[in-house]
Amino acid sequence: MRTVRRSQLREIVPLSDTTIYEMEQRGEFPRRFNLTPRCVVWDLAEVETWIEERRNASSAGKIETRPAPDVRLRKTRPVKSDQG
C-alpha cells in the first residue's frame, strides 16, 4: 500500500481541503487515516480509483454540472478599476 500526504494529494486532486473534508464526510471521497497523531494520509490506490470513477462518470454524463450564471440578471455592473 502506498500513501500520500496532504501536499501530495493537492497535486493529484485540485480541490480545497474543505471540499475534500466535506466529500469525505458524505462518503464521496476516500477517507483519510492517521499514521501518527500528527500525520494524516490517504491510500493512493483509493484516490486513483476515485479519479478513474469520476472520469468514467463524467464521460457517461452522470456528473451533473451547473449552468453558467446569466449575467443579464445582475442588478449592478462590476466596478472597473481606474488603475491600469
**What does the block give as the cell for 24?**
469525505
Query: Which residue range forms the structural domain that includes residue 48?
Result: 3-60
Q: Is residue 31 part of a domain?
A: yes
**pTM for this entry:** 0.72
Phi/psi-derived region of residue 82, left when phi > 0, alpha when psi is between -120 and 50, beta in every other case: alpha
Q: Is residue 18 part of a domain?
A: yes
How confident is the model at residue 30, as a pLDDT?
97
Domain count, the chain: 1
Q: Is residue 80 part of a domain?
A: no
Q: Is residue 83 part of a domain?
A: no
Q: Are 47 and 7 in contact (CB under 8 A)?
A: no
Q: Are 31 and 24 in contact (CB under 8 A)?
A: yes
Q: Which residue bears the cell 501518527?
A: 36
d(CA 2, CA 9): 12
pLDDT digits (tens, 9 = 90+) for 61-76: 777 777 888 888 888 7
pLDDT digits (tens, 9 = 90+) for 7-48: 999 999 999 999 999 999 999 999 999 999 999 999 999 999
